[in-house]
Amino acid sequence: MRVAIYGLPYHDEVRGPVEELLDELQKAGARVALEEGFAEFLGMAGDYDCFGLNKGLDPGFDLFVSFGGDGTILRAITYIRDLGIPIVGVNTGRLGFLSTFRKEEVRTLVREFVDGHYHLVDRSLVAADLEGEVPGGDRLNFALNEVTVSRKDTTSMITVETFLDGEYLTSYWADGLIVATPTGSTGYSLSCGGPVIMPTARSLVITPIAPHNLNARPLVISDDTEIRLRVSGREPQHLLSLDSRIATVDNGTVITVKRAPFQIRMVEYHSESFFKTIRNKLLWGEDRRN
């Protein structure tokens, strides 16, 4: 078994859980590789193989373990890309919709994986292209949660012309616009009034950010829809974000958003589920009458 380990941010409290994980992996006879920056932080760079953004990983890895919060998972997928390596998150952050395993349970994480007490859930991604250009480089134009356009250097709203499969939908007058995957439906989109969508649904949701029109509501569409966006506003530029990666884009640039050609494989243990996660994280069912 081959296992890759990644972690952010670099806090001393993560050392104990990582050492427990490494000990359990050693008992299981696993070959381990650490992300090079994380290995330096742990002082283990000479003890294990290391990997970076463009080296050290291949489809032969059986598991990718991410230490941190959901933001760490979003950064971790830039290492995995289209390699198909299953990923699981150990939550050392706050909320943890994606990083669901508690840091006190890392030994259980290994044992249940070895025993096959899990299944893989394919999570779709979205990709963004700028009239032939690719934000963030030719291999980092994808996002697991959402692609967002938003205002820059101004308190004035922007106008986002929106086309679906070439047909004009509307022009949103708002602080921005989110195109979220089912995975991202519990993130920024949810904060802006968007619906929660099952991770396996073949859908995307378009959610305006603080629209100045009470009729502008989130719209759920098929994930094979091609979305074209064009922003105008008082400032000459606006922001385009792909998960946690942000680029500055000139107004008037056509941004094409569509489903990415590959998926991310998330490990879901039999002891966990999407419904259990939203009950625990969103406090569904906390009404005393229940």
User: What type of residue sits at position 91?
Assistant: N
Token couple for 165: 């499969």
Angle, to 10 degrees, between the axis of helix 15-27 and the axis of helix 106-114?
Answer: 30
Question: Which residues belong to the active site?
Answer: 70
Q: What is the 3-state secondary structure (H, E, C) of the chain?
A: CEEEEEECCCCHHHHHHHHHHHHHHHHCCCEEEEEHHHHHHHCCCCCCEEEECCECCCCCCCEEEEEECHHHHHHHHHHHCCCCCCEEEEECCCCCCCCCEEHHHHHHHHHHHHCCCEEEEEEEEEEEEECCECCCCCCCCEECCEEEEECCCCCCCEEEEEEECCEEEEEEEECEEEEECCHHHHCHHHHCCCCCCCCCCCEEEEEEECCCCCCCCCEEEECCCCEEEEEECCCCEEEEEECCEEEEEECCCEEEEEEEEEEEEEEEECCCCHHHHHHHHCCCCCCCCC
- Whether 142 and 126 have beta carbons less than 8 Å apart is answered as yes
Give dist(CA 179, CA 189) in Å, integer.
8
